[in-house]
């Protein structure tokens, strides 16, 4: 029975959109993350969503090109960003002379990937990144700082995590030792899947890549090495004398030591951590929710040798961390993890009668000026329908404004959850509602 | 001397991007606006940047089509949003059954218009909108609430404004009275330009539209009417007996009365306020900076009869306000209006010697845990270069950590602006730095 000319309103498939209560909760999480970043002296950056295709696709290849939203307008070939790292590289390259290094920036912004929509994957989602970029060199303190920052982020989100940390140079050093550098990426891809595929399958794949049975066994054992830093040193100190391997081990020790100074509590060492991107070159880490390991890594990061190699021949080494906050929120929301009942947009509703409506609005004004989210349901005409609306919207407190209340300047505050009632002066009302919000 | 294969990093023309200190300031303004919206019981919405072209262009025509970023991916024809109103209409239409009405939502988000870049105009900019949508009806209290909200926004931004308020029905009623409804839009467009073009030119244009000299004079006088509500009533009470005119005047009085209850202080009545969009049907208002009227309107809004007329045949009347925060910030920044020196990303720098570096990091950890943005310049190796970096970055406080300081647990805090020095225990350091931030 559609009216002629009407359009059925639709949201694009695979795009994420929250209802108000969910959005209030989600926004509060983003605010918490921002506070952590600022507290740790990271500065905000807000790059455009669109970039020249030439800039954005400089380093990419393969899948990125297919997934990216690319189009021309006039004679300009442009793309929507698919991550926040390439825009960072563009920004740092353009403003190298004006910025202070190490440059510590965070960015929370939407990115776009036109991939097939599936559970937990969206075509538009928030990336939440913090990176430290050095000018030609960068201390390993920065690596520890990013790992610690990720811990602090989850702490602020009130989520218990364990961070698994490795250094890619260890596995890469072993691969160099057995002279398989040319297959390094392929080998790491197999090792990255160890937890998901049967051992025999991994062995078969490594054998196809030219590893002997003993080499396969050794590298699989290596990748399965976990423990605290002391245990790692005991297990690996004499495992392989390759210099890259030893450098990785020494870097791992340096990061472990610095993490102690940062008061880090949740890090364990785990050589199976590789992270997909092949641009990571040293420290790599991933965060897993305690008791929810099945969700996979919910954050991670690592060290890269050169952020800007497509834009400049000066090395800009960096280390960063990232949280897939959209996917994380979506998965936890599905498990009813969040108590959305606490995200009320209204602290209290002012319920008036016809003849006290104006006084009600004045009270709303005073309460809002004092920081109370007060609402009066001006669309509901009768006392009864206003009360009903307050109930429907699960407002915790109502304040009843009758003619007596105006005369005595004492209002009836009713807690809708407990049905308790109080007669209070306006200052005491405010006190009561505010103390209850804590 | 470019290395072969390097790409020159470039930002798209007409796209806005801030340097860190500016961004810190700008973000703080957005936060302040969000707080105002939440304080007034508006809920956040965060719709996708992309929409189906069919949805987004439903109501548009003319210029919008040319300016919009539209493209196809696969078989999907989509657009980047050019405002936040159409996505709101789409959202409200889709979720009508689940939402509470009046639905009060705010959205601060980037929108895209591929227009010719010029001073104060960008192709990507933040729109900062708050709207109240009714289900079939909406009280005039909502109009006053939006006007008052705009006042509160500028108050939070610490900008003095004057809000000019009118009701379109007054001019439209007069146009109906002289039987020129068919030219209504064109007449309003001429009146909208009154402040910018010579009177004779306006008269000539009105004459071309078929108005007699006396009608032109009358409507120009009408559009020039300003004053408080009492003065408006005196001037206009008997000006025109047309029922639409009288309805407009009566609505203006109702809004004025409610604004008083909301403790509004900055509103003046001004019948020259029309606002370009022809979808406004009643209340219209614009905000001007005091002493900076030449910047033009920096915010505004109004009442519309039906938000969702392209999606549904049920009336969803609404009223909204909007601030062009990107343009406003850009113009004021150009006039050095903001004191960016106060937006430091660092509260204090910890200056260490080689042998106290680890103790320095521990101190950074303790201070950050206590909410102090403490930084140690780990890339600078010597005491001297660390001090130089603190100076260069205009850090207000440095804390010097020598071996004596570690033994006595009393640190030297130096105010780099006044050169004052204090020897303080860690708790007193924190106290001192925090109290100074207020």
Distance CA B370, CA B368 (A): 5
Residue in A closest to B254 by C-alpha:
A358
The rounded distance, in Å, linking the Cα atoms of A88 and A44 is 11
* Residues of chain A positioned with their CB less than 8 A from the CB of B111: none
Residue tagged 């002289």 (tokens): B178
Cβ contact A50–B114 (<8 Å): no
Residue B128 lies in a domain: yes
Residue pair B50/A11 in contact (Cβ under 8 Å)? The answer is: no
Are residues B103 and B206 part of one domain? yes
All residues of chain B having their beta carbon less than 8 Å from the beta carbon of residue A87 are none
Please say whether the beta carbons of A423 and A407 come within 8 A: no
State the Cα–Cα distance between residues A92 and A106, nearest whole angstrom.
13
Query: Rounded distance, CA A219 to CA A208, Å?
Result: 15
Task: Give the per-residue pLDDT at B2.
Answer: 43
Chain A's closest residue to B27, CA to CA, is A44
Closest Cα in chain B, distance from residue A224 (Å)? 32
The string of pLDDT tens digits covering residues A250-281 is 999 999 999 999 999 999 999 999 997 678 99
Given an 8 Å threshold on Cβ–Cβ distance, is B48 in contact with A15?
yes
Cβ-nearest to A41 among B94, B362, B373: B373
Smallest Cα distance from A75 to chain B, Å: 12
Mean pLDDT of A89-100: 95
Q: What is the CA radius of gyration of chain B?
A: 28
- Segment (H or E) for A103: strand A103-112
- Spell out the alpha helix ranges (H) of B295-425: 325-334, 357-369, 383-392, 403-408
Is residue B111 assigned to a domain?
Answer: yes
Is B17 in contact with A73 (Cβ distance < 8 A)? Answer: no
What is this model's ipTM?
0.94
- Cα–Cα separations (whole angstroms), residue A150 to A111, A145, A166, A192: 20, 9, 15, 21
CB–CB of B94 and A9 under 8 A? yes
Contact A72, A50 (CB under 8 A): no
Cα distance from A158 to chain B (closest Cα, Å)? 16
What single-letter DSSP state applies at residue B121?
Answer: B
End-to-end CA distance of chain B: 50
Same domain, B306 and B354: no
Question: Per the CB < 8 Å rule, is B46 touching A27?
Answer: yes
Residue pointed to by tokens 């004596």:
B404
Spatial distance between the Cα atoms of A90 and A134, rounded to a whole number of angstroms: 15
B38 touches chain A (CB under 8 A): yes
Query: Which residue in this structure is represented by tokens 């307008």?
Result: A73
Does the pLDDT of residue A206 top 90, yes or no? yes
CA distance A205 to A191: 10
Distance from the Cα of B102 to chain A's closest Cα (Å) equals 7
By DSSP bridging, strand B70-73 and strand B50-52 are: unpaired
Contact A7 B310 (CB under 8 A): yes
**Averaged pLDDT of chain A:** 93
Of B23, B99, B379, Cβ closest to residue A101: B379
Q: Residue A10 falls within a domain, yes or no?
A: no
Structure tokens at B150: 């705009």
Which contiguous run of DSSP H or E holds residue A89? helix A85-94
Within this chain, do residues B42 and B133 fall inside the same structural domain, yes or no?
yes
Backbone φ, ψ for residue B95 (5° rounding): -120, 25
Structure tokens at B80: 């980047």
Of B12, B16, B102, which has the smallest distance from its Cβ to A51's Cβ?
B12
Q: Same domain, yes or no, for B223 and B81?
A: yes
Which of A8, A9, A38 would best serve as a mutation to test chain B binding (most B beta carbons within 10 A)? A9
Provide, as residue numbers in chain A, all residues whose Cβ is less than 8 Å from the Cβ of B100: 389, 392-393
What whole-number distance in Å separates Cα of residue B321 and Cα of residue B336?
27
Nearest to A282 by CA among A254, A252, A313: A252
Question: What does DSSP say about strands B267-270 and B161-167: parallel, antiparallel, or unpaired?
Answer: parallel
Report yes or no: B225 and B271 within 8 Å, Cβ to Cβ: yes
Same domain assignment for residues B187 and B267: yes
The CATH number covering residue A163 comes to 3.30.930.10
Cα first-last separation, chain A = 50
What is the three-class DSSP state of B226? strand
Nearest to B375 among A41, A44, A54 (CB): A41
Token pair in block for residue A127 = 């990336």
Query: What is the Cα–Cα distance from A108 to A106, expressed in whole angstroms?
Result: 7
Judge whether A288 and A164 are in contact, CB under 8 Å: yes
In chain A, residues with a C-beta closer than 8 Å to the C-beta of B263 are 362, 365, 369
Closest chain B C-alpha to A138 CA, distance in angstroms? 7
Q: Verify whether the Cβ–Cβ distance A374 to B54 is below 8 Å.
A: no
Is B6 among the domain residues?
no
pLDDT tens digit string along A306-325? 888 888 888 999 999 999 99
3-class DSSP state for residue B41? coil
Query: Contact B55/A94, CB-based, under 8 Å?
Result: no
Helix axes A199-208, A213-223, angle to 10 degrees: 130
Between positions 197 and 256 of A, the ones with CB within 8 A of B are none
Chain B residues in contact with A308 (beta carbon < 8 A): 9
Instruction: Using an 8 Å CB-CB cutoff, list chain B residues near A80.
Output: 49
Residue B9 lies in a domain: no
pLDDT at B345: 87
CA–CA min distance A209, chain B (Å): 31
Which residues on B lie below 8 Å from A137 (Cβ)?
Answer: 379
One domain for residues A380 and A234: no
Which among A55, A114, A375 has the least Cβ separation from residue B9? A55
Interface probe for B, chosen from A140, A379, A406 (most Cβ of B below 10 Å), is A379
Asked, for residue A145, whether it belongs to a domain, the answer is: yes
Number of domains in chain B: 2
Using CB atoms and an 8 Å cut-off, which of residues 69-108 of chain A contact chain B?
69, 71, 73-74, 76, 78, 80, 89-91, 93-95, 98-102, 105
- The answer to whether residue A409 sits within a structural domain is yes
Q: Are residues B166 and B311 in the same domain?
A: yes
Query: Band of the pLDDT at A121, cuts 50, 70, 90?
Result: confident
pLDDT in tens, B333-392: 999 888 888 788 899 999 999 999 999 999 999 999 999 999 999 999 899 999 999 999
Query: How close B231 comes to chain A (CA, Å)?
Result: 23
Domain for residue A51, yes or no?
yes
Contacts of B158 (CB under 8 A, 6+ apart): none
Inter-chain Cβ pairs, chain A and chain B, closer than 8 A: 220
Return the pLDDT at A101: 95
Which of chain A's residues have a Cβ under 8 Å away from the Cβ of B41?
Answer: 345-346, 373-375
Name the minimum distance, in Å, from the CA of A401 to any CA of chain B: 15
Tokens describing residue A136: 């030609």
Residue A428, domain CATH: 3.40.50.800
- Whether the pLDDT of residue A1 is over 60: the answer is no
Q: Which of A40, A124, A373 lies nearest to residue B368, judging by beta carbons?
A: A40
CA angle A251, A255, A256 (to 5 degrees): 115
Same domain for A317 and A421, yes or no, is no
| Range A295-303 average pLDDT | 94
Residue B89: enclosing H or E segment and its boundaries?
helix B85-94
Domain termination residue (choose one: A302, A334, A366): A334
Domain end call among B301, B334, B367: B334
Per-residue DSSP letter, A136 = S
- Rounded Cα distance between A89 and A112, Å, is 18
**Measuring CA to CA, how many Å separate A267 from each of A42, A149, A220, A259, B121?**
22, 12, 22, 9, 48
Q: Say how far apart CA A320 and CA A317 lie, in whole Å.
A: 10
Q: Do B23 and A16 touch (CB under 8 A)?
A: no
A201, A106, A183, A192: which is closest to A152 by C-alpha? A106
Is the distance from CB of A150 to CB of A163 less than 8 angstroms? Answer: yes
Q: Do A55 and B15 touch (CB under 8 A)?
A: no
Same domain, A156 and A270: yes
From start to end of B137-262, where are the E strands?
A: 161-167, 226-227
**Distance, in angstroms, between B321 CA and closest chain A CA?**
19
Whether residue B396 sits in one domain with residue B423: yes
Q: Which of A44, A362, A379 sits opposite B27 (nearest CB)?
A: A44
Domain that holds residue A351: 344-437
In angstroms, rounded to a whole number, what is the distance separating the alpha carbons of residues B36 and B46?
17
Q: Which of residues 111-140 of A touch B (CB under 8 A)?
A: 112, 114, 124, 134, 137-139
pLDDT at A61: 53
Query: Are the CB atoms for A323 and A371 separated by under 8 Å?
Result: no
- Whether A44 and B55 lie within 8 Å, measured CB to CB: no
Q: Within this chain, do residues B255 and B351 fall inside the same structural domain, yes or no?
A: no
On the question of pLDDT at A237 being above 60, the answer is yes
For residue A342, the distance in angstroms to the closest alpha carbon of chain B comes to 14
Percent helix / strand / coil, chain A, rounded to 5: 40, 20, 35
Beta strands A299-304; A318-323: pairing state? antiparallel
Q: Are residues A43 and A180 in the same domain?
A: yes
Closest alpha carbon within chain A to B47: A17
**pLDDT attached to residue A225:** 96
Q: Does A381 touch chain B (CB under 8 A)?
A: no
pLDDT in tens, B9-66: 999 999 999 999 999 999 999 999 999 999 999 999 999 999 999 998 877 654 567 7
Q: What residue ranges of chain B have pLDDT lower than 50? A: 1-3, 62
User: Contact at 8 Å (CB) between A51 and B9?
Assistant: no
Distance CA B375, CA A417 (A): 47
Residue A162's closest CA among A173, A145, A177, A147?
A147
Answer yes or no: do A19 and B98 touch at CB < 8 A.
yes
- Do A356 and A403 touch, CB atoms closer than 8 A? yes
* Average pLDDT for A335-364: 91
- Which residue, A334, A353, A382, sits at the end of a domain? A334
């Amino acid at each position: 029975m559609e009216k002629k000319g009407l359009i059925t309103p639709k949201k694009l498939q695979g795009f994420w959109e929250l209802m108000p209560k969910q959005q209030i909760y989600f926004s509060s999480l983003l605010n918490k993350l921002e506070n952590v970043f600022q507290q740790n002296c990271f500065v905000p950056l807000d790059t455009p969503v669109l970039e020249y295709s030439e800039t954005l696709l400089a380093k990419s290849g393969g899948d990125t090109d297919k997934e990216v939203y690319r189009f021309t307008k006039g004679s300009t070939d442009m793309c929507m960003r698919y991550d926040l790292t390439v825009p960072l590289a563009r920004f740092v390259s353009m403003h190298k002379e004006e910025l202070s290094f190490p440059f510590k920036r965070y960015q929370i912004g939407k990115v776009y990937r036109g991939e097939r929509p599936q559970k937990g994957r969206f075509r538009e989602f928030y990336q939440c990144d913090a990176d430290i970029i050095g000018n030609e060199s960068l201390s390993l303190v920065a690596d520890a700082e990013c790992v610690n920052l990720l811990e602090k982020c989850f702490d602020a989100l009130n989520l218990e995590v364990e961070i698994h940390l490795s250094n890619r140079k260890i596995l890469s050093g072993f691969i160099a030792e057995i002279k398989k550098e040319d297959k390094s990426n392929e080998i790491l891809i197999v090792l990255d899947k160890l937890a998901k595929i049967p051992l025999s399958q991994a062995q078969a794949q490594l054998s196809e890549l030219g590893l002997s049975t003993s080499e396969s066994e050794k590298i699989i054992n290596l990748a399965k090495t976990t423990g605290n830093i002391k245990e790692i040193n005991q297990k690996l100190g004499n495992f392989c004398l390759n210099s890259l391997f030893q450098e990785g081990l020494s870097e791992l020790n340096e990061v472990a030591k610095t993490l102690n100074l940062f008061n880090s509590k949740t890090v364990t060492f785990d050589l199976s951590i590789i992270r997909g991107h092949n641009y990571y070159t040293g420290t790599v880490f991933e965060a897993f929710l305690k008791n929810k390991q099945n969700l996979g890594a919910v954050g991670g990061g690592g060290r890269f040798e050169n952020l800007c190699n497509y834009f400049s021949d000066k090395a800009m080494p960096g280390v960063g961390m990232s949280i897939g906050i959209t996917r994380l929120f979506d998965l936890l929301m599905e498990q009813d993890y969040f108590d959305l009942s606490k995200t009320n947009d209204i602290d209290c509703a002012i319920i008036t009668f016809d003849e006290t409506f104006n006084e009600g609005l004045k009270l709303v004004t005073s309460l809002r000026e004092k920081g109370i989210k007060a609402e009066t349901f001006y669309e509901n005409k009768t006392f009864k329908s206003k009360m009903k609306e307050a109930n429907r919207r699960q407002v915790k407190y109502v304040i009843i404004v009758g003619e007596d209340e105006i005369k005595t300047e004492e209002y009836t505050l009713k807690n809708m959850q407990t049905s308790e009632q109080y007669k209070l002066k306006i200052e005491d009302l405010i006190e009561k509602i505010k103390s209850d919000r804590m």
